Amino acid sequence: MAFFSPFVWASLIALSQGLPAGLSSCTRELLETGANAYIQAQASGNFSILQSSSSKNFTYYENNNVSNPLAGVLRLPLKIDHSRTTFDTVQCSTYTELISAGSKNPYVLGTQIRHDPTNGTLGISVIDTIASTTGAWLFNASKTLEHVLQESWTPLPPDKQVARDVLQATADAYLDMWSNATASNAVAWGEPCTRLEGSAYTGTGSPTDSCKPGIPSNHHQAPNIHRRYVIDEAMGSCTVFCLWQHMMNAADSHEFRLEGGKLRYVHTMTVCPGQTCRL
Ligand SMILES: *[C@@H]1O[C@H](CO)[C@@H](O)[C@H](O)[C@H]1NC(C)=O
Ligand SMILES: *[C@@H]1O[C@H](CO)[C@@H](O)[C@H](O)[C@H]1NC(C)=O
Ligand SMILES: *[C@@H]1O[C@H](CO)[C@@H](O)[C@H](O)[C@H]1NC(C)=O
Ligand SMILES: *[C@@H]1O[C@H](CO)[C@@H](O)[C@H](O)[C@H]1NC(C)=O
Ligand SMILES: *[C@@H]1O[C@H](CO)[C@@H](O)[C@H](O)[C@H]1NC(C)=O
Ligand SMILES: *[C@@H]1O[C@H](CO)[C@@H](O)[C@H](O)[C@H]1NC(C)=O
């Protein structure tokens, strides 16, 4: 199948909504343990490292497709040149951005991890990875790394944080721009604001850098559906994975950072499985 079946999508959506009893046991420390185990597993190409922290009902998705974790990118030991994790204690999930810029297996990965806290014990129930490499949209891992390292993603002081629904509203409005002519009015555009799309950077270092140039002018494209969210208020971050139908049914990751409620950074990864992405 090219993407998740409706059944699987329904359960993923169920996972990302509501709050089953017992989720109060979801702490940042436990989420951090899971994310660090994931990074270690990817660095060593050894999925076994994650098995002890996985729930019995574990599913691995790679590029929007149910996959075998022993056959996908997790089997490759990657030198980790950069990693950054955001934490969503409400949905009991994390998002990790990983870059491996080596020439042998260059990768820029976005990974959402969801936990299933049965009986007070966290277990990883879902690893959902967008694995971009050569052939992905505007892919160049070393160039992406250069740009990422120039940005500042420190936790926000309380007066610059906004509520998770505000973060999600801008993320959704942004992703709606392909199918909705007025959605851009609902994006909390900031200045400066820079977009890193694959390795392509819109920033010039100017205080007036804007994220508006190049936004969609054709609003009759397929909507970006099957959205899965990880939201971290302290980081001002909302990450959305989705199905990018208007580019070859690609698997897509968009991460948005808002500072003081205004859009500051956008990072994207777009993978056209088995093919080179083109418009
Ligand atoms: C998804 O996985 C199935 C089963 O492993 C495979 O046949 C199919 O080619 C995959 N699709 C994509 C888009 O990777
Ligand atoms: C993979 O990790 C497991 C669990 O930590 C460990 O027992 C095993 O030796 C590792 N395998 C390799 C090839 O390093
Ligand atoms: C196991 O996970 C699948 C997919 O996420 C879900 O549909 C199913 O309900 C889960 N089963 C149990 C027993 O939690
Ligand atoms: C829940 O955890 C307690 C304490 O570890 C254990 O005694 C109990 O059997 C567990 N219940 C289930 C349903 O796993
Ligand atoms: C990737 O970017 C680096 C650094 O900007 C550049 O030196 C290199 O030529 C690029 N590689 C490709 C394949 O375009
Ligand atoms: C388009 O976006 C605007 C602004 O967010 C919203 O008010 C409107 O309901 C959207 N229209 C549709 C059809 O979703």
Q: Verify that 136 and 29 share a domain, yes or no.
A: yes
Give per-residue pLDDT as tens, 127-178. 999 999 999 999 999 999 999 999 999 999 999 999 999 999 999 999 999 9
Q: The domain that contains 257 carries what CATH number?
A: 3.10.450.50
Q: Verify that 99 and 200 share a domain, yes or no.
A: no
pTM: 0.89
Q: Verify that 64 and 180 share a domain, yes or no.
A: no
Q: Verify that 139 and 264 share a domain, yes or no.
A: no
Pick the last residue of a domain from 125, 148, 171.
148
Query: Does the Cβ of 69 fall within 6 Å of ligand 1?
Result: no
Pick the last residue of a domain from 118, 148, 178.
148
Q: Verify that 173 and 49 share a domain, yes or no.
A: no
Q: Verify that 236 and 133 share a domain, yes or no.
A: no
Question: Rounded to the nearest whole angstrom, what is the distance from the C-alpha of residue 142 to the centroid of ligand 5?
Answer: 7
Which 3-state string (H, E, C) describes the chain? CCCCCHHHHHHHHHHHCCCCCCHHHCCHHHHHHHHHHHHHHHHHCCCHHHHCCEEEEEEEEECCEECCCCCCHHHCCCCCCEEEEEEECCCCEEEEEEEECCCCCCEEEEEEEEECCHHHCCCEEEEEEEEECCCCCCCCHHHHHHHHHHCCCCCCCHHHCCCHHHHHHHHHHHHHCCCCCCHHHHCCEEEEEEEEECCEECCCCCCCCCCCCCCCCCCCCCCCEEEEEEEECCCCEEEEEEEECCCCCEEEEEEEEEECCEEEEEEEEEECCCCCCCC
Question: Rounded to the nearest whole angstrom, what is the distance from the C-alpha of residue 104 to the centroid of ligand 1?
Answer: 24
Give per-residue pLDDT as tens, 4-29. 444 344 444 444 444 444 445 788 98
Query: Which protein residue has the closest C-alpha to ligand 5 atom 13?
Result: 140
70 found inside a domain: yes
Q: Verify that 138 and 178 share a domain, yes or no.
A: no
Q: Verify that 194 and 81 share a domain, yes or no.
A: no
Domain ranges, residue 7: 2-148
Residue 53's pLDDT is what?
A: 82
